[in-house]
A and B are shown apart, each in its own frame.
Chain A
Amino acid sequence: MKLSTTLLATSALTAAAVAAHAQDMADDMTLVSWGGAYQESQNKAYLQPYLEEHPEVSASWDESSAEAVAKLRAMNEAGNITWDLVDVVASDALRLCDEGLAMELDFNEVLAEGDDGSTPEEDFGDLLINDCFVPQIVYSTTFGYRTDMVGDTPPSSVCDVFDLETYPGKRALQKRPIDNMEWALYCDGVEKDEIYDVLGTDEGVDRALAKLDTIKDQVVWWTAGAETPQLLADGEVVMGSTFNGRLFSAIAEQDQPIDMLWDMQSFDLDGWIIPEGLPEDRLARVLDFLKFATDTQRLADQAKYISYGPARNSSAPLVGQHAELGIDMAPHMPTDPANATNVHLYDYEWWADNRDDLDAKFQSWLAQ
């Protein structure tokens, strides 16, 4: 009797303490990411260290980033936001911010300073593409090829993708106009800095599609990033585009006869947004986590698990070796100077404007 009273009193006290604490910061977080190796790298580099510091917090992952834009809109309309922090690519972040579904942030206030003393806005630099998006990594969409199927002269330029005579066989390309149209124009002789001007005209679109037409019946179109490594491993395609981290794991972790073609790799960003309309206690928690998870050391740590470049300038010198394989990660980063001699900077704003239009044309071309 006495014991149970004591227990009751204690638990009531604990409950009261928890309740008091909850007014400042919630103890639950739902993080949304892409699943797979990428989410695991975030888990190891950001979340586990944070949970060690804050044992009262519990967090869960939701692997819904691919549908994040649609789901966030549905949640917003229903007035019930169940996510706290969402990992999205830059183009989705632009859309979410425009639609008012992502919260605007004052970066200098909510993010940690760089280890070298720079302000967050200086440290992230141009990668801050709008007021909502906190970038974590720079990744690229680039090509991989089968070393045993290309003869003695491996491809060295992105235009080799369009060269069916020297490199016969199928190619894997992503089933969307972004990147493919730019590569096609570049290989049709358009200067790199004029690509978007040309693509902005009807003739330019026709020109890009005509160039793609030359390889159309040799293309396997993919929608999920895992398809290309699989197609390469099966020998279904000679070369194919995908995210560089996928190719890294096929090459370094699975020892497939595949090599990277870094020429005209298309840089893209991945990062966090906070959904608009979180209650104050959850917002306080998520801001606390965000500050921790995007500091210099944490971003550099992530590169131990996956070959994507940290978005902070101050993180680059701290990039070390792969946690399990023990190989230096720097040469596998898309941002490594040796890999980044000729890169394509994908223009989010231009695509935000023209995506609907070009997608209709691209799909119509595909269906013919």
Chain B
Amino acid sequence: MSHPATDPDKIIGTTPDNALRNADRADARADGPVLAADGTPLKRSLARALRAQKLRALALIAPLLIFVLVSFIAPIGDMLFRSVENQIVKDTLPRTVVALRDYDAASTELPRDEVFEAAYYDIFYAAERKIHTRLGSRLNYEMSGASSLFRKSGRGLDDVGELYQDQFEALNEGWDEAGPWVEIMADPEWVTEQAAWDAAPEGRMPRFELREGIAEILPRTSEAYETFARFTQVEEGDSPLEEEPWSAVHTALYQDLSATDLSGYSGPRADMLQAADALVESDGFETVAFRDAFAEVDEDWVEPEIWQTIKMYSPAYTSGYFLNSIDMQKTADGPALRDADERIYGLLFWRTLFMSLVITFSCILLGYPIAYLLSNLPSGKANLLMILVLLPFWTSLLVRTSAWKVMLQQQGVINDVLVWLGMVSDDGRLVMINNQFGTIVAMTHILLPFMILPMFSVMSTIPVSYTRAAKSLGATNWTAFWRVYFPQSVPGIGAGSILVFILSIGYYITPEIVGGTSGIFISNRIAYHISSSLNWGLAAALGSILLVVVLILYWAYDRIVGIDNVKLGG
């Protein structure tokens, strides 16, 4: 974008930049550093002056810069980031994701029993935090049915813990009370502190600590109880001293007791634990395998599909949304094209580009003569015309679009006139709305001022004398226009085209109202995913692609036409 008047290398005179450059040259000649009046090297003194100037300039634009950063760049960045972000699976099912690490998503087999165990605890804890259904909604974008699967499982998996809880409770009522559990699991010091806090709640609750050594004896139970106690403290603000533990803790206790021998245990409540140990070892103790419990909740859990989906979407970042937005999907064997009856985005991207181009060209065709007229009329008449051009700007977008509906529909103004004139029969009324034609007409009308204004401002600076000179040298009207006038008006066309094209590529209200099925844009799908399906990741991916396409087109335009040839004003 170099220009003789602004190119820094061509400005001569006493600017700090030039002085700095002169000082550089002097240094290069090795005469020793040039000194300023106060004896400091000129370079340093100048640099200081320059820095102050730059800081002042920065301070002046700072409000705008901060405003743009906070209200524009940051939200867009955040939105684009969602197109790859996928923490939810890892955060909601941390144990399952680890257990699935060596599971091959391409295999058609079910994962190991450890995975079912991990999933049981994960879903149980997620259900307590009421976030399991959120994960269900997320996975439902990839696998139909995941939504209700997780909704059901939140409650359904309670049966497992209750089975053990009931049996322990039948043995000793103490297993369903808070007290004995605290004695077994909690650090006595913490118990004293917590009891003091319960008596006089002040400040923060003392953080729950496990009793020393219990984690080695009952590892799973310790983990489950600790999760329960911390959740009770933090999320519910209750004291674990008074809450009976979740049924998942009983499940963990059963697992620990069946794995270890507690005959040597001598800690608190040894009798209770040893009795429970004996009960677990006895023949009459009822158990249920985790896998069977999952099958009981829903048969889908014993199909590989859900596990493959969890495995494929377990990383914190995913390409899934981008694949979806180009009609592909993640499969166990890598990305694959979707079924033909589910492809839509490719078609919509192509249609959006095509229709935006058509709209841009029709704006050029309609706008050029008007802009020419405006710039060549005497100013009184030109102003009147200008008001007519600007009038649509002052009318609501929805009103203008709805007006086109009244004009174009089959029982509308245009069809009525045509039938009255006898040009079409009453049965053969033209279909001009709810299709591509309607969208193109309505959008051309709405965007026309954006084409006319830049054209006009460029054309009004073209001196009339050039065309006159061409004609006096023997050019015909056409040659004078085509060889002399038109080339000078190209920057206006360029600016108008970029404006109209970029505006129309992101339009969605007008296509939504008059577009029917064949006249809708990709932005209508983006709006749908933002506001109805809540699939913000997919919306973000579609938006990112749209942004990249616009940038590529802009780059291509710059290479072909040259962005210096675009002028918004004289």
A residues whose Cβ falls under 8 Å from a Cβ of B: 66-67, 69-70, 73, 95, 97-100, 104, 170, 175, 206, 220-221, 223, 234-236, 349, 352-357, 359-361, 363-367
Q: How many residues in B have their beta carbons less than 8 Å from beta carbons of A?
A: 37
Q: How far, in Å, is B8 (CB) from chain A's closest CB?
A: 44
State whether A70 touches B531 (Cβ < 8 A): yes
Does B544 count as interface, using CB distance less than 8 angstroms? no
CA A95 to CA B147, docked complex, whole Å = 10
Does B136 count as interface, using CB distance less than 8 angstroms? yes
CA A194 to CA B136, docked complex, whole Å = 26
Does B425 count as interface, using CB distance less than 8 angstroms? no
B residues whose Cβ falls under 8 Å from a Cβ of A: 130-131, 133-134, 136-137, 140-141, 144-148, 151, 341-344, 347-348, 409-411, 434, 512, 516-518, 520, 525, 530-536
Question: Which A residues are CB-close (under 8 A) to B145?
Answer: 353-354
| Among B148, B347, B531, contact of A67 (Cβ-Cβ < 8 Å) | B531
State whether A99 touches B341 (Cβ < 8 A): no
State whether A69 touches B344 (Cβ < 8 A): no
Q: How far, in Å, is A129 (CB) from chain B's closest CB?
A: 12
CA A170 to CA B410, docked complex, whole Å = 10
Question: Which B residues are CB-close (under 8 A) to A352?
Answer: 140, 147-148
CA A133 to CA B434, docked complex, whole Å = 36
State whether B140 touches A353 (Cβ < 8 A): yes
State whether A69 touches B517 (Cβ < 8 A): no
CA A175 to CA B151, docked complex, whole Å = 28
State whether B344 touches A363 (Cβ < 8 A): yes
Question: Which B residues are CB-close (under 8 A) to A356?
Answer: 140-141, 144, 533, 535
The CB with the most chain A CB atoms within 10 A, among B344, B410, B518, B531, is that of: B344
Question: Which B residues are CB-close (under 8 A) to A95?
Answer: 137, 534
Question: Which B residues are CB-close (under 8 A) to A104?
Answer: 130
Identify 4 new A-B residue pairs, CB closer than 8 A, beyond the known A70-B530, A356-B533. Answer: A70-B532, A98-B133, A99-B133, A367-B347
CA A298 to CA B214, docked complex, whole Å = 58
State whether B517 touches A367 (Cβ < 8 A): yes
- If the complex has contacts A236-B410, A364-B341, are A98 and B535 also in contact, measured as CB distance less than 8 A? no
CA A357 to CA B146, docked complex, whole Å = 12
| Among A66, A359, A365, contact of B533 (Cβ-Cβ < 8 Å) | A359
- If the complex has contacts A220-B434, A223-B512, A364-B343, are A98 and B136 also in contact, measured as CB distance less than 8 A? yes
14 contacts between A and B (CB under 8 A): A67-B531, A69-B534, A95-B534, A98-B133, A98-B137, A98-B147, A98-B151, A100-B133, A352-B140, A353-B144, A357-B342, A364-B341, A364-B344, A367-B348
Q: How far, in Å, is B405 (CB) from chain A's closest CB?
A: 9
Q: How far, in Å, is B103 (CB) from chain A's closest CB?
A: 24
CA A353 to CA B531, docked complex, whole Å = 18
CA A199 to CA B130, docked complex, whole Å = 30
The list of the 8 closest CB pairs from A to B, nearest first, reads A98-B133, A357-B144, A70-B531, A364-B344, A366-B517, A360-B342, A353-B145, A353-B148
CA A99 to CA B535, docked complex, whole Å = 12
Question: Which A residues are CB-close (under 8 A) to B534?
Answer: 69-70, 73, 95, 99
CA A73 to CA B530, docked complex, whole Å = 10
State whether A100 touches B130 (Cβ < 8 A): yes
Question: Which B residues are CB-close (under 8 A) to A97?
Answer: 133
CA A352 to CA B139, docked complex, whole Å = 12
CA A175 to CA B343, docked complex, whole Å = 18
CA A221 to CA B524, docked complex, whole Å = 14
State whether A236 touches B535 (Cβ < 8 A): no
State whether A69 touches B131 (Cβ < 8 A): no
CA A66 to CA B532, docked complex, whole Å = 9
State whether A100 touches B348 (Cβ < 8 A): no
Q: How far, in Å, is B234 (CB) from chain A's closest CB?
A: 16
Q: How far, in Å, is A265 (CB) from chain B's closest CB?
A: 23
State whether A236 touches B411 (Cβ < 8 A): yes
CA A221 to CA B434, docked complex, whole Å = 8
Nearest A residue to B406 by beta-carbon distance?
A234
CA A95 to CA B134, docked complex, whole Å = 9
Nearest B residue to A71 by beta-carbon distance?
B531
Question: Which B residues are CB-close (under 8 A) to A367?
Answer: 344, 347-348, 517-518, 520
Q: How far, in Å, is B433 (CB) from chain A's closest CB?
A: 9
CA A37 to CA B103, docked complex, whole Å = 56
Question: Which B residues are CB-close (under 8 A) to A175?
Answer: 517
Q: How far, in Å, is A253 (CB) from chain B's closest CB?
A: 21
CA A360 to CA B339, docked complex, whole Å = 11
Question: Which B residues are CB-close (under 8 A) to A70?
Answer: 530-532, 534
| Among A223, A236, A359, contact of B409 (Cβ-Cβ < 8 Å) | A236
CA A175 to CA B511, docked complex, whole Å = 14
CA A60 to CA B503, docked complex, whole Å = 35
State whether B517 touches A354 (Cβ < 8 A): no
Question: Which B residues are CB-close (under 8 A) to A361?
Answer: 341-342
Question: Which A residues are CB-close (under 8 A) to B530?
Answer: 70
State whether B516 touches A221 (Cβ < 8 A): yes
Q: How far, in Å, is B200 (CB) from chain A's closest CB?
A: 22
Q: How far, in Å, is B320 (CB) from chain A's closest CB?
A: 13
State whether B341 touches A235 (Cβ < 8 A): no
- If the complex has contacts A100-B130, A223-B512, A236-B410, are A354 and B137 also in contact, measured as CB distance less than 8 A? no
Nearest A residue to B131 by beta-carbon distance?
A100
Question: Which A residues are CB-close (under 8 A) to B148?
Answer: 349, 352-353
